[in-house]
Amino acid sequence: NHTTVTRFILLGLTDQADQKQLLFAIFLMIYAVTLVGNLGMIELIRASSALHTPMYFLLSVLSFLDICNSSVFTPRLLISFLTTDHDYQLSPPQMTPGELASATGNHTPVTQFILLGFSSYADLQELLFVVFLLIYAMTLIGNLGMMALIFADARLHSPMYFFLSVLSFLDICYSSVVTPKLLVNFLASDKTISFEGCVVQLTFFVVHVTAESFLLASMAYDRFVAICQPLHYGSVMTKETCVQLVATSYAFGAANSAIQTGNVFALPFCGPNQVTHYFCDIPPLLRLACSNTATAGVVLYIFSALVTLLPAAVILTSYSLVLVTIGKMRSAAGREKALSTCASHFLAIAIFYGTVVFTYVQPHGSSDDTNGQIVSVFYTIIIPMLNPFIYSLRNKEVKDALQRKLQVSIFPC
């Protein structure tokens, strides 16, 4: 046999499917820590003039080489944990509706999608409309109220509350991308959305959700500097730094949106157009594509994991150092104040990341449609409503500011 080899099969570490998912999670976390640690070291050396010496220059080069060396093979290893092209299968995998349409010769291009979310509850449509309308109204009132309160009260003009006002803005944005169309579909018999409208909805949704993920990391870093380095807080968390962190969050959001949206709509859609969701989300759209979506599913998995785990690594590192510092405080009042400012943020983080990870950071096609919709309701509709209450009820400064404004409004004299 003198056939020329044109490719190699990487057998990897194991062929056991359950072990692959565990190994994927472990190596992805290691890779995320590698990127965060080495990029952080490079940025720290660049930003601090006290570290501009030959020793730290070489250390920054070492960090750069570590990133390059790890990035040469780790992404390919992560992909191999999720793809099954080299596995022997006794039976063919179940075809998605899009692949089935393509196999039967249906190549009619899709011009619109039908959003089937909650359509199985036909007798509850009006009740669901009222419930979600009330939630959306509370979302707008709560977040707009939070933004107005922070803007109007000079005592809240600090980096922490600047980030909180941006968080309220993001909550309004990505909730408004999804909820109005959902409310219309509860009452309308025509539940369609145009192909272009679907692209726009997904684009803006991913931008704002990704930006919120990185903004939460910025808020954790702010608490780290405030509690662990209080004497340097004013010089580190300047207005320019805060604006740069918000701009960086949006930059990551735009980049991830371009990748994820392009990843989905570069696929052909030729027949099935019933989206088993209440908005144009990536997993249900991939099931309608008329070609193999294994690669697209891996792209979704990896980039969703990165935009979740990179901020999560910053958050965990920041709060680990914060807890160590709080534990060393001698004043009980100081410990209580520090914990009160962090508790609300940590609760919001836990709810947000828990639901996002359940929805996106799992093998493509493994989630149940009904469970996926229910979980999506939490981070697209419920969390934007809860955040203002979480931060106001758990934060003494916000409650005091609100009380002052109410007293001025009710008793102006």
The span from the CA of 68 to the CA of 63, in Å, is 9
pLDDT band of residue 54 (cuts 50, 70, 90) is: confident
pLDDT at residue number 135:
94
Kindly tell me if the per-residue pLDDT of 199 is higher than 60. yes
N-terminal to C-terminal alpha carbon distance within the chain:
97
The arithmetic mean of pLDDT across residues 207-216, rounded, is 94
pLDDT at residue number 142:
92
Kindly tell me if the per-residue pLDDT of 382 is higher than 70. yes
The span from the CA of 173 to the CA of 169, in Å, is 6
Residue scoring higher pLDDT (284 or 94): 284
Kindly tell me if the per-residue pLDDT of 34 is higher than 80. yes
The span from the CA of 43 to the CA of 189, in Å, is 54
Kindly tell me if the per-residue pLDDT of 101 is higher than 60. no
**308, 356 Cβ separation under 8 angstroms:** yes
Q: Using a pLDDT cut of 70, give the percent of the chain over it.
A: 82
Residue scoring higher pLDDT (176 or 63): 176
Q: What residue spans of 83-194 are helical by DSSP H?
A: 97-103, 125-152, 159-187
CA 132 centroid distance within chain: 22
- For tokens 């992805």, what's the residue? 28
Q: Which residues pair with 112 in a beta bridge?
A: 194
| Max CA separation in the chain (angstroms) | 97
Kindly tell me if the per-residue pLDDT of 360 is higher than 50. yes
Distance of CA 263 to CAs 84, 203, 282, 286, 362, Å? Answer: 20, 11, 9, 10, 17
pLDDT band of residue 257 (cuts 50, 70, 90) is: very high
**273, 262 Cβ separation under 8 angstroms:** no
User: CB-based contacts of 117: which residues, under 8 Å, 6+ apart?
Assistant: 182, 185, 275, 276, 277, 278, 279, 373
User: CB-based contacts of 175: which residues, under 8 Å, 6+ apart?
Assistant: 136, 139, 380, 381, 384, 385
The arithmetic mean of pLDDT across residues 81-98, rounded, is 50
Amino acid at 370: T
User: Order of strands, edge to edge, in the sheet holding 274-275?
Assistant: 192-194, 112-115, 274-275
Q: Using a pLDDT cut of 90, give the percent of the chain over it.
A: 25
Kindly tell me if the per-residue pLDDT of 89 is higher than 50. no
- Domain range list for the chain: 17-82, 110-410
Regarding beta strands 112-115 and 192-194, do their DSSP bridges make them parallel or antiparallel, or are they unpaired? antiparallel
According to the CATH classification, is domain 110-410 in 1.20.1070.10? Answer: yes
pLDDT band of residue 348 (cuts 50, 70, 90) is: confident
pLDDT at residue number 91:
40
Specify which of 86-95, 146-155, 368-377, 387-396 reaches the highest per-range mean pLDDT.
Answer: 146-155
Residue 381 has which token pair?
């509709």
Residue 370 has which token pair?
């009904």
The span from the CA of 301 to the CA of 284, in Å, is 14
Specify which of 7-11, 75-79, 307-311, 368-372 reaches the highest per-range mean pLDDT.
Answer: 307-311
Kindly tell me if the per-residue pLDDT of 198 is higher than 70. yes
The span from the CA of 44 to the CA of 92, in Å, is 51
